[in-house]
Amino acid sequence: MPLREKRRSALVLAGLTVFHILLISIQVPLGSRKPYFERAVFFLYAPVQRAASAAVRGLGSAWTGYFDLRGVRRENQALKRDNFFLHQDVRFLEDRLGLGASEALLRANLAEFEKTLVAARVIGVDSANPHQSIVIDKGSLDGVAKDMAVCDRNGALVGRTVAPIGLKEAMVQLVTDKDSSVSVRSVVAGLTGAMTGMSTGFCELRHVLASTEGGQEGEEVRTTGFDKIYPPGIKAGTIQSLEEDVSSPIFRKIVVKPYFRFDALDVVAVLTKGPGGGG
């Protein structure tokens, strides 16, 4: 064997021997201390592991926060719905207490009353005339049909459902529409007539004879139920002015301001039973 190859073999053998000695030495326990190899691996990969762990925790927190946010949103919607029905229940109780109903009858009627309400959100308005109609996010699949009375969150009259009625949407004719007509009566003087919209924020109480006495500004008017569409006793508005009708001297000109506020009309209740509601 040539001398060069002998030297190469000797160097390889020496290198392998040193390598094995190193491998053995790094595995030798150092008392309570970790082996050198394990410590080296730890220092190399610990930062990577920490970064990965932080990323996982961040994603987990974000994911948990997302579901927590959704939970808070659902809870908020549930609270809004409960508050909405609470307002309706209070109005219902006030009206029925005024009629002198017994407590047992009140409780029975109240339980039935809540079942007849379908809460809906306003999702659109008539751009040409905002006082004419609105669109709500409930339709035939939710039990909504034509000619059902619609009230705001405080139990005040808003209007009635009209065609078209979709599966999940419905059109509501506002009482301020010029083609709307609601049979109402003032609570003090008993002035009875048809509350017709003026396509503005006001309505007109028509067909009240000039010979009829009584009535004053601020007097409340409520539905009578005579039109077979709106249940009796719903608060419709207050009288704003009373004067002689120059164009028709046999009638009085009475302007009524509806209770509902168009700028705050975000949630409404559809009365699915009663006159116009199928039972």
How confident is the model over 217-245, as pLDDT tens digits? 999 999 999 999 998 989 999 999 998 88
User: Which are the contacts of 109, defined by CB distance < 8 A and separation ≥ 6?
Assistant: 92, 96, 101
Domain boundary residue among 61, 95, 115?
115
Distance CA 211, CA 34 (A): 108
Q: Are strands 252-258 and 157-165 parallel, antiparallel or unpaired?
A: unpaired
Domain boundary residue among 99, 115, 131?
115
Domain that holds residue 195: 120-279
Give the pLDDT mean for 28-37.
51
Cis, peptide link before residue 164, omega less than 30° from 0: yes
Is the model's pLDDT at 53 over the cut of 70? Answer: no
CATH of the domain at 124: 2.40.10.340
- Ranking 14-28, 146-160, 180-194 by mean pLDDT, the lowest is 14-28
What is the tens place of the pLDDT at every residue in 107-154?
Answer: 555 555 566 788 888 999 877 788 899 999 999 999 999 999 999 888
Neighbours of 240 (CB within 10 A): 15
**Treating both helix axes as pointing N-terminal to C-terminal, what angle do 36-98 and 103-115 enclose, rounded to 10 degrees?**
130
Q: Would you list the DSSP string of 175-210?
A: TTSTT-EEEEEETTT--EEEEEE-SSS-EEEES-BT
Q: Are strands 220-223 and 267-271 parallel, antiparallel or unpaired?
A: unpaired
Question: Locate tokens 């064997």: which residue?
Answer: 1
What is the tens place of the pLDDT at every residue in 246-262?
Answer: 888 899 999 999 999 88
Distance CA 67, CA 83 (A): 24
User: Is 89 contained in some domain?
Assistant: yes
Rounded to two decimals, the pTM is 0.63
